[in-house]
Amino acid sequence: MDQILLITLNGLTLAGVYFLVASGLTLIFGLMRVITMAHGTSYLLGGYVGYVIARDTGNWFLGVLGAAIVIGLVGLFIHQVLIRRFQDDDMRVALITLGVSLIGTDLMLATFGGTATQVPIDPELQVASVSLPIVGSYPVLRLLVLLIAVVIGFALALMISRTRFGSVVRAGVDDSPMTGATGINVRVVFAIVFVVGSALAAIAGVIGGTLFPLLPGQDGVYLLYSLVVVIVGGMGSIPGAAIGAVLVGLVSQFGIVYAPTYALVLTFALMVVVLAIRPQGLLGRTV
């Protein structure tokens, strides 16, 4: 019983990281109807940038902030220079960003090497644990990650549903030419959303890189997980990404414990089942 609870908690904290990565992807897709295959690159590069900053300044929060800014700028570059002209051609955007991820993988391997690194954080926090009922002691850091993911998730959902910017974004999703006609500069909105989406991946990278080691090849892994999360949850929906992340996190954790070889296959089976029942994802709208 306590083992099942422990696995559930691990799954939920893992889901926090998955949600942070996937929320950026789903945000970008929701507005622009394009999928960026460079999202895993944003995650890993964000983790590395956060690692360098946190190592040199000794401040973890500076690492998160710096990574978000740097990757946000990279995202702005990708959006403005490479894909803005082809925004209506989702296939070409997917291929171009795939090319970006190819370059990113190669350059990151050359710059940061093939060995595992971990974003440094206050050593006290690193080992601190609280005792929970039934489960026993559990690392504080993991609970904090879950908390951060929940806070960011609610902030995003509220921003989209309650603020003026959110209503502009939603209007842009529904009918971007009409939104433009009402005097809103949709292009700027697109650019902002792309930057925010990339920055979210970077934040996820620093947080993920604090819990788990950063390794080459993780760009592909996290791209895969965020794709599965948004396919399961429904593309373009933040609550959908949350549900998808929780499902994927739980399935992969239980899979690792009970059927290690098939952990990823099980995650994938989850995706197939969801697709068979609801091709647009759990909370997705038909496009």
Partner 1 sequence: MADRSVLFAPQPTGVSRWLPWAIVSVVMLLVLIFPFIVDRPRFWLPNIGVQSIWLGIIAMSLVFLNRYVGLLSLAQVTVAGISAYGVGYMVVTLQQDFVLGALVGIVVGTFSAFVIALIAARTKAIYFLMITLAIGQVFFSWASQAIEVTGASRGLAPIRRPDWGVIDLNDITTFYYFAVAVGVFCYVLCRYVAGSTFGLALEGVRDSPERMKALGYNVNAYRVAATTFAGFIASIGGILIVLDRAQVDPNVVSLGATLDVLVVAVIGGIGSLGGVFVGALVLTLLSNFAQGLTEQYMTLTGIVFILILLFAPAGLAGIGQQVKRLISRRRRSATDSDESSQDPSAAQPTEHAITEGNKR
Residue ranges that bind partner 1, judged by CB under 8 A:
34-35, 82, 85-86, 88-92, 94-96, 98-100, 102-103, 105-107, 110, 220, 224, 227-228, 231, 235, 260-262, 264-265, 267-268, 271-272, 275-276, 279
Instruction: Tell me how far, at minimum, the Cβ of 229 lies from partner 1, in Å.
Output: 11
Phi, psi of 183 (to 5 degrees): 100, 5
Instruction: Tell me how far, at minimum, the Cβ of 226 lies from partner 1, in Å.
Output: 10
* 10 versus 105: smaller Cβ distance to partner 1: 105
* 77 versus 154: smaller Cβ distance to partner 1: 77
Distance CA 209, CA 286 (A): 35
* 59 versus 90: smaller Cβ distance to partner 1: 90
Distance CA 150, CA 239 (A): 11
> How remote is the C-alpha of 225 from its chain's centroid?
9
> Which residue from 225, 222, 230, 181 is spatially nearest to 205, judged by alpha carbons?
222
Distance CA 46, CA 39 (A): 10
Contacts of 65 (CB under 8 A, 6+ apart): none
Instruction: Tell me how far, at minimum, the Cβ of 174 lies from partner 1, in Å.
Output: 19
Instruction: Tell me how far, at minimum, the Cβ of 19 lies from partner 1, in Å.
Output: 18
Instruction: Tell me how far, at minimum, the Cβ of 59 lies from partner 1, in Å.
Output: 32
* 147 versus 272: smaller Cβ distance to partner 1: 272
* 84 versus 170: smaller Cβ distance to partner 1: 84
Instruction: Tell me how far, at minimum, the Cβ of 109 lies from partner 1, in Å.
Output: 9
* 10 versus 267: smaller Cβ distance to partner 1: 267
Instruction: Tell me how far, at minimum, the Cβ of 87 lies from partner 1, in Å.
Output: 11
Cβ count near 59 (within 10 Å): 15
Distance CA 64, CA 151 (A): 15
Quick one: how many helices (H) and strands (E) in the chain? 12, 2
* 138 versus 268: smaller Cβ distance to partner 1: 268
What DSSP assignment string belongs to 64-110?
A: HHHHHHHHHHHHHHIIIIIIGGGTT-HHHHHHHHHHHHHHHHHHHHH
